[in-house]
């Protein structure tokens, strides 16, 4: 009887595992389908970083290493920072707007009424964002290679940074969406938070102010930039200290989202 019970528990565990994978796979498929059915949004998601890196490559691709860019060439600096922007846009920016719109349109309320567990819904969202980010990063690396930027050699470090960053910024996107009252305000609120962080974190221009760098090092964007810069430009392994800062912000965002997130549209 003990052996039979053990087999039943193992079978039940395997069944739960298969059910988990089936639910997540279905949600990922749904999110991908919704994403590609909006071609304007999909094209812009991939076009902005590609166009930015291409313009920088055409204008400044022949420039060598410079102390202004911390001993890197212009494109060696911008390929990882724009890759970080693509992850932020896919995971934080779009998720904030999408969740606010789905809540106001009643989509989240209908999802909540189905047998789909909340964890499967959000796991599918995060996995979808990771897939979009991976595609974006591959395009950016390919454009950089056309202008002579060496290919990264530490892909596991890039993968670790991508997973931690995507999960953390998705959590922050959920937290931001939970504090937005309507979908019309979502783009403005999301960008109001994001754009100052991008600039003080050295995304578009290197920051040489020690004070600003110290402040930005405790915010989520600069550590994520550094975590990608290390394997992309320095061909080194993961920077766990920077990833720990990003993960801490993700944990804070997850806790805020769990506490404040609403499935139903807000009255008025």
For 97-115, the pLDDT digits (tens) are 888 888 888 888 888 888 8
Phi and psi at residue 196, to the nearest 5°:
-60, -40
267 within domain boundaries? no
Is the pLDDT higher at 11 or at 115? 115
Burial class (CB in 10 A: 0-12, 13-18, 19+), 66: middle
244 pLDDT band, cuts 50/70/90, is very high
Which residues constitute the domain of residue 45?
A: 2-260
Specify the pTM: 0.84
Task: Look at the chain and report how many structural domains it folds into.
Answer: 1
Higher pLDDT, 128 or 45: 128
Does residue 4 surpass a pLDDT of 60?
Answer: no
Please indicate, yes or no, if residue 172 is contained in any of the structural domains.
yes
Report the pLDDT averaged over residues 71-75: 88
Average pLDDT (214-225) is 93
Q: Does residue 187 form part of some domain?
A: yes
d(CA 187, CA 268): 19
Identify the pLDDT of residue 10.
47
Mean pLDDT of 131-138: 88
Q: Span 153-166, mean pLDDT?
A: 89
Name 148's Cβ contacts closer than 8 Å, sequence gap at least 6: 61, 75
Residues 6+ apart with CB under 8 A from 171: 250, 251, 253, 254, 257
Is residue 145 a part of any domain in this protein? yes
């Amino acid at each position: 009887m003990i052996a039979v019970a053990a087999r039943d528990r193992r079978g039940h565990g395997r069944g739960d595992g298969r059910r988990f994978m089936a639910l997540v796979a279905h949600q990922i498929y749904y999110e991908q389908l919704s994403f590609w059915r909006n071609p304007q949004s999909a094209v812009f998601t991939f076009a902005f970083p590609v166009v930015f890196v291409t313009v920088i490559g055409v204008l400044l691709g022949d420039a060598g290493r410079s102390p202004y860019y911390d001993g890197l060439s212009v494109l060696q600096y911008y390929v990882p920072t724009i890759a970080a922007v693509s992850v932020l846009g896919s995971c934080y920016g779009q998720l904030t707007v999408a969740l606010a719109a789905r809540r106001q349109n009643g989509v989240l309320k209908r999802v909540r009424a189905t047998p789909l567990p909340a964890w499967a819904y959000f796991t599918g969202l995060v996995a979808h964002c990771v897939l979009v980010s991976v595609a974006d990063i591959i395009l950016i690396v390919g454009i950089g290679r056309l202008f002579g930027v060496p290919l990264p050699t530490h892909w596991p470090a890039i993968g670790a940074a991508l997973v931690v960053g995507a999960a953390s910024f998705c959590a922050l996107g959920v937290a931001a969406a939970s504090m937005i009252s309507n979908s019309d305000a979502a783009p403005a609120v999301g960008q109001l938070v994001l754009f100052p962080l991008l600039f003080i974190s050295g995304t578009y221009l290197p920051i040489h102010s020690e004070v600003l760098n110290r402040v930005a090092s405790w915010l989520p964007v600069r550590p994520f930039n550094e975590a990608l810069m290390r394997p992309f430009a320095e061909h080194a392994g993961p920077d766990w200290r920077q990833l720990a800062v990003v993960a801490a912000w993700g944990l804070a965002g997850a806790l805020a989202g769990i506490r404040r997130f609403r499935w139903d549209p807000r009255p008025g």
